[in-house]
Structure 1
Amino acid sequence: MPPKRAAAGPSSAPKKSPAAPAADGADSAASSASEPAIPRSKRWSPVSGSANADAHYKLKMQNPVTAYSFVCLCQPPFPNGEDSDEDEEEDDDEEDDDEEDREAEDGEDGAKKKRSVCDGGKTCLCDTPASEHPDHVWKMSAAGKLKFLIQRTHFALRDPDNFSMYTFNDHLGYGVLEMLQNLVLDYEEAAGNYKEQWAVCECLAFFLQTEGWCVTGIDDGDTVDATFELIGRLFMAMLAQLERQQLLSKDSEIKNLGLVMALFMAWARGARQYGLLEDEKEESLGPAKNKKKWQPSFFDNQILAYARKYEIDLVGPHDIDETVAEARGDVALPDPESSSTAKADPFGFAKALKKYKVEAGGISAFLSQNYSSNSPIGGDNLDITTWSSAARKSKCFDKKDPLSKAEIDALKQGMVLTLG
């Protein structure tokens, strides 16, 4: 089954730390005289926690050598097999069970032995160079890891529970849709930089195994399905690009190639349990003259075909063997000759994105009452820090603005609001 998402936070407003940076404890995203100015995307509102988190990522990842080097994760940041307790229905119960599960009986005397836990790299493998542990499965580029961690900030900013507010039933789910759209735009804007595009793919692969599942609960299944199919095309476009650059191989410089491919396959399989990614339509694969077909909703078949063609080991998810068994690896792949140029788009990602922008543009803007006829996809309409004080007060349980003046001032200065 698709993994459960982590708890979004308590129902009452948690402590907010406006001066704290996003995710990894680094410095604020605010520019200073000693730091270069970070270009601000037009997606963001004038005052926006999302904008500040995005600037933080760009500031920290300016050095391509460190940004695109690979580091270890001591364990996956989501339940993965026997160590997860999928039968629990309440997050509080899960926390209690997790605490109990950290102790395992060792020996006939029933003595307890602590299971190793992540301590952020103090004693575990986290952040050690992947080159020092070539056989370790769980690894990400530094950029992919930070982008994934910053999604937790974006997620928290779109959760009304964190602000003691009620807005509408699916606010958080539509907020996740907005986040996924932003990641698609990140990929599009990184054209020409395959390493940054791969970082986006890493982030998507991990996010869709965690909080990303929240989007399946919204009342617009057609848009969710279209979004998932678009993300599948995005990843196939990435693999086609890597093939052009001869980077699809067991010994690729992309050290987590088999892991990310496997995570996308596992996600596609899980999505079908929600009735998504089941459209059996076919379309041309590459130029029509090649007479090749593929099914966009079953892109995991092409992932498996690429893995077999280049002998890439699919690793990571506990059920990868079952996932592979359910997929088809005997499907067509693009002809290298017709996909050899940078403009080649054998999986139709660019065309599908153009259509998606028209059909899905303005959804979050409409829900936040900021809609206009040319509202784009993505952005920060459902980030509660972008709302006016009056709008927040009207939806807050105590009719007071959940953000203090100090917090609002800090947001204006570029600080990243962390919740928890």
Structure 2
Amino acid sequence: MQQLLRRQGFDPLTSTRSAGSKVSASKNLDLGYQKSMQDPNHAYEFMCICDPTVDEDEYDEEEEEEEEGEGGDKPSCDGGKTCPCNKTAVSLPSHPYTITRAGHRRADKARKAEEWREMWALVESIVLFIEVGGGADMCMADDGERVQELAASIARLVLTTLSTLESHDQLKEGSDIRNLGWMMSLTHAMSGTLREMNVMGPTAPSKAKAFKFNPDNLDLYVCAFAHRHSITIPGVSEDDMAEAAHMAMPKAGAKDHWGWTRGSARVAGGDRFDITTMSSAERKEAAFDEKDPIPAKVMESIKKGEPACIG
């Protein structure tokens, strides 16, 4: 990544850009990792971790057996409080499971994409942005087909997240997610907004035994999850809840039945969809009012290596 950024004129370690380099808010988002890796001796120092090939349940079972057989008091993985995690490999030379700090940082960054807390934060921000933050303006874009694909991806993300919460026993009243009902209500309202903007089609309830995903049914699927786990959704009618109660749904714990892994790959963007990489003249040409939508002070911040923040 550092080599790629440098080829584009950006020094990730100093957060400076060479003359003529392409400005991009997307590149700035990787800056935290790059800064933490400034000292090569620290970045590539080997540190200990617990056996990554054993999940927590298996790990606990293994240790129970060892304790019974050896009478030892070996702790399970607790993130480094009592286990080997985060200790230097030099300090524990006999420990077999080691990784560089850089590798661990990257692995941790990737793992966060599948953590339910991180996924729920994405759902919260997207639903709030579209329903109350002006994000629905995207529906007025010329490329209606792409907007429809984006709406379908949002539906997949929301539903995949709900499935993930379900698999972690967090989809219920009284779970660690304190705003479940309200966010489900907001998602239900967002579906109606996207439908009014002709980005989503009308709901098509299916009682067929075989599940087949239809992004237009986002609000019904959300209600079906709520019905399955006795979650109250404020503002949703009894008729909607009754209709959703008979919807065909994937089994709890099913793998990618909402098509997030497959679908997101098809619509994933990149710098070519990032208007911060365009020149001011290009943005003006594409804007309806022929004005640059990004204030000059915001572009100056981006040039300094900061993420974009408009509003």
Q: Does 1:200 align with 2:122?
A: yes
Correspondence for 1:328: 244
Structure-2 change in CA distance of 1:407 and 1:233 (3 Å): closer
Structure scoring higher RCO (CA < 8 A, sep ≥ 6) equals: 1
Percent of pairs identical after alignment?
25
CA distance in 2, matches of 1:398, 1:238: 38
CA distance in 1, matches of 2:299, 2:192: 42
Correspondence for 2:275: 383
Structure-2 change in CA distance of 1:326 and 1:188 (3 Å): farther
Q: Which has the larger radius of gyration?
A: 2
Are 2:28 and 2:306, in contact at CA under 8 Å, matched by a contact in 1? yes
Aligned residue identity for 1:48: S
- Superposed CA deviations along residues 157-176 of structure 1, whole A, max 9, x for unmatched, are xxxxxxxxxxxxxxxxxxxx
Structure-2 change in CA distance of 1:32 and 1:333 (3 Å): same
SS at match of 2:244: coil
CA distance in 2, matches of 1:276, 1:391: 27
- Superposed CA deviations along residues 126-174 of structure 1, whole A, max 9, x for unmatched, are xxxxxxxxxxxxxxxxxxxxxxxxxxxxxxxxxxxxxxxxxxxxxxxxx
CA distance in 2, matches of 1:300, 1:392: 35
Correspondence for 1:353: 264
Aligned residue identity for 2:172: S
CA distance in 2, matches of 1:281, 1:191: 31
Q: Find 1:248's aligned residue among 165, 171, 174.
A: 171
Q: Which structure's residues are more often helix, by fraction?
A: 2
Aligned residue identity for 1:349: W
SS at match of 1:277: coil
State the Cα distance separating 1:51 from its structure 2 match: 4.5
Structure-2 change in CA distance of 1:325 and 1:196 (3 Å): closer
Aligned residue identity for 1:236: L
Q: Does 1:218 align with 2:129?
A: no
- Which 5+ residue runs of structure 2 have no aligned equivalent? 1-11, 16-20, 36-108
Q: Does 1:236 align with 2:155?
A: no
Aligned residue identity for 2:219: D
State the Cα distance separating 1:379 from its structure 2 match: 3.4
Give me the TM-score of the superposition, normalised by structure 1: 0.42
Structure-2 change in CA distance of 1:323 and 1:46 (3 Å): farther
CA distance in 2, matches of 1:326, 1:308: 9
Give me the TM-score of the superposition, normalised by structure 2: 0.55
Are 1:294 and 1:331, in contact at CA under 8 Å, matched by a contact in 2? no
CA distance in 1, matches of 2:194, 2:24: 31
Structure-2 change in CA distance of 1:189 and 1:219 (3 Å): farther
CA distance in 1, matches of 2:244, 2:204: 16
Are 2:283 and 2:291, in contact at CA under 8 Å, matched by a contact in 1? no
Number of matched pairs: 219
SS at match of 1:228: helix
State the Cα distance separating 1:232 from its structure 2 match: 0.5
Are 1:282 and 1:293, in contact at CA under 8 Å, matched by a contact in 2? no
- Superposed CA deviations along residues 199-240 of structure 1, whole A, max 9, x for unmatched, are 111101101112211111112222211211121111111111
Are 2:275 and 2:283, in contact at CA under 8 Å, matched by a contact in 1? no
SS at match of 1:353: helix
Aligned residue identity for 2:122: V
Correspondence for 1:414: 305
CA distance in 2, matches of 1:418, 1:208: 16
Are 1:393 and 1:402, in contact at CA under 8 Å, matched by a contact in 2? no
CA distance in 2, matches of 1:394, 1:348: 36
State the Cα distance separating 1:309 from its structure 2 match: 1.5
Correspondence for 1:297: 216
Correspondence for 1:260: 183
CA distance in 2, matches of 1:229, 1:216: 13
CA distance in 1, matches of 2:136, 2:25: 22
Aligned residue identity for 2:24: S
Are 1:48 and 1:411, in contact at CA under 8 Å, matched by a contact in 2? yes
Correspondence for 1:6: none
Are 1:47 and 1:412, in contact at CA under 8 Å, matched by a contact in 2? yes
CA RMSD in angstroms comes to 4.5
